[in-house]
Structure 1
Amino acid sequence: MEAIANEKAGMDAIVAQGSEAGGHRGSFLKPKNQLPMIGTISLVPQIVDVVSIPVIAAGGIMDGRGVLASIVLGAEGVQMGTAFLTSQDSNASELLRDAIINSKETDTVVTKAFSGKLARGINNRFIEEMSQYEGDIPDYPIQNELTSSIRKAAANIGDKELTHMWSGQSPRLATTHPANTIMSNIINQINQIMQYK
């Protein structure tokens, strides 16, 4: 298990990245077949039980419910990406923010098409066209370099079909609120849940 290897290497904390997470997989061990897709709810307690350093939950966490669930599972913190990508304070492109806001959980896929490293993003024409070659795609950084000019050109003309649109699996929960409002909403939601229980 990678978490045990990280602890033995002297890491101060472990990020338990569930399969729902957007962007590149944080895995470094090469599986024999395919990278296992373990969800955050399953992954976090299994890691918490085998390491003595703090575990940070990541993947699909978009609001106070996800934060609180992660803490109940034993995480000492959370890492939230997609939740803040759509914020009006984000430096993400308008193209990406719009794609996330207008997507649903079934629109995301895990692919090597853009970079040669598995990553979750919103399905598009490029991913679909490359899916027939998935087994032949060179590993990172070769594929990343090969697709670089395509991605840049597509981004420059606002073509979401030919560039990566990294997103986690919970885009329906995304908002365009400022980051401080997102944080306040998370805290308020946690407080409301805790008062209810």
Structure 2
Amino acid sequence: RESLVGTLSLVPQVVDAVRAPVVAAGGVADGRGVAAALALGADGVQIGTAFLACDESGASAGHRRALASPRARTTVLTRVFSGRTARGLVNEFVEAMTPHEADVPEYPVQNWLTQPIRRAAAAAERDDHLSLWAGQSAALARPRPAAELVAALVEQTEQVILGLMKR
């Protein structure tokens, strides 16, 4: 049985348990999330999905389009692409395979089995059979240059912290 602890719950527990610097990761996509993680004691924050939507990302065009669509509002945990649990957007492949997820072989076998499907989908620019990895804050991701995202993260984080100090 898996226990999936959210970042906001996990960060203070880890901060209290270790002496090493703590980097918060998961569900952080804007300055509000950065400020929250820092307030909970994190020394830094790793942002993933927000960077997938950036112009410089190595994500396929289909993946970036999916992140910019209303589909980004909902993510699911799935093993159907790789055999390992990962969070992603729902598409035709996920919907078709989810009823059979208990029969999916473990990583790396499932990853190897689905690789030709994913390659063909990417070549055909069809996101309905791609692994569209995305975190819980995927709906906050915006297509833009990475430098703009970094600048926005810094500005938003500062605004949130200053706003809290004024309260």
Q: Is the 8 A contact 1:104 1:171 kept in 2?
A: no
1:147-162 aligned within 5 A: 147-162=114-129
- Residue-by-residue CA offset, 1:64-117 (whole Å, 9 max, x unaligned): 111111011111111111111111122221111110111356521010000000
Moved over 3 A (4+): 103-106
1:96 aligns with 2:63: yes
Query: 1:189 is matched by which residue type in structure 2?
Result: Q
State the aligned residue count.
164
How far off is 1:61 after superposition?
0.7
Matches of 2:14 and 2:120 in 1, distance apart? Answer: 41
Gap runs ≥5 in structure 1: 1-32
Matches of 1:186 and 1:104 in 2, distance apart? Answer: 23
1:84 aligned partner: 51
2:32 aligned partner: 65
Matches of 1:190 and 1:131 in 2, distance apart? Answer: 38
Query: 2:101 is matched by which residue type in structure 1?
Result: E
Q: Is the 8 A contact 1:103 1:171 kept in 2?
A: no
Q: Which has the higher contact order (CA 8 A, sep 6+)?
A: 2
- Residue-by-residue CA offset, 1:141-169 (whole Å, 9 max, x unaligned): 00000111111111111111112101111
Matches of 2:111 and 2:162 in 1, distance apart? Answer: 48
Matches of 2:105 and 2:63 in 1, distance apart? Answer: 25
Residues 104, 41 of structure 1: alpha-carbon distance in 2 compared, 3 angstrom cutoff: farther
Question: TM-score, structure 1 length as denominator?
Answer: 0.79
Any idea what SS the aligned residue of 1:78 has? strand
Residues 89, 108 of structure 1: alpha-carbon distance in 2 compared, 3 angstrom cutoff: same
In terms of fraction of residues, the more helix-rich structure is 2
1:125 aligns with 2:80: no
Any idea what SS the aligned residue of 1:175 has? coil
